[in-house]
Amino acid sequence: MKNKNPYKIIVYLLISFIFIKVPAEAATDSAAIKHQQAVLISTSNWILKQAFLNKTSGLQVQGRGIVGRLLSDDVSGERHQRFILRLANKQTLLIAHNIDIAPRLVGLKPGDTVTFYGLYEWNSKGGLIHWTHHDPDGNHVNGWLRYRGKIYQ
């Protein structure tokens, strides 16, 4: 069977390389942990940029950005808290966080930093991140948001 999206293979290889090259157990001091996080975020930004440029969707990604704008909740169907994140590479992402499954990020405001782990879907404005919550049915990878040191899942 021909793989329709070779970029997914590249993404998985890069992520695997990071975790082999910089294993978590080797990061025993604060400087090593900060370095590992910086490498992961830098690589995530590159992956997200490539996904946008190549109109790729369906990638499980981790990243971090600054809240640029708060949007109204999406209340059609399951409710989602929505906001725009700007990555260090200037790419913007719409975060759609299911607040029927996971808690709302209370106190969120423009300028705040949010780290995410969720599913990337391409759109013409930079992309969408969703599945930032646990899966009650256990069929999907659990996602999360980290805000002010707390995990929202």
Return the CATH number at 139.
Answer: 2.40.50.200
Full domain range(s) for residue 129: 6-152
For the chain, the domain total comes to 1
**Is position 132 within any domain?**
yes
**Is position 68 within any domain?**
yes
**Is position 35 within any domain?**
yes
Q: What percentage of the chain has pLDDT greater than the value 70?
A: 73
Give the pLDDT confidence score for residue 85 in this predicted structure.
98
**Is position 44 within any domain?**
yes
More confident call, 144 vs 4: 144
**Residues 69, 85: Cα–Cα separation, whole Å:** 7
**37 in Cβ contact with 84 (< 8 Å):** no
pTM of the predicted model as reported, rounded to 2 decimal places:
0.77
As a whole number, the mean pLDDT across the chain is 85
Give the pLDDT confidence score for residue 43 in this predicted structure.
77
**Is position 74 within any domain?**
yes
**Is position 110 within any domain?**
yes
**86 in Cβ contact with 49 (< 8 Å):** no
**Is position 76 within any domain?**
yes
Q: What is the pLDDT averaged over residues 43-71?
A: 93
Give the pLDDT confidence score for residue 45 in this predicted structure.
87
**Residues 149, 77: Cα–Cα separation, whole Å:** 29
**Is position 1 within any domain?**
no
Give the pLDDT confidence score for residue 31 in this predicted structure.
72
Q: What is the pLDDT averaged over residues 46-74?
A: 95
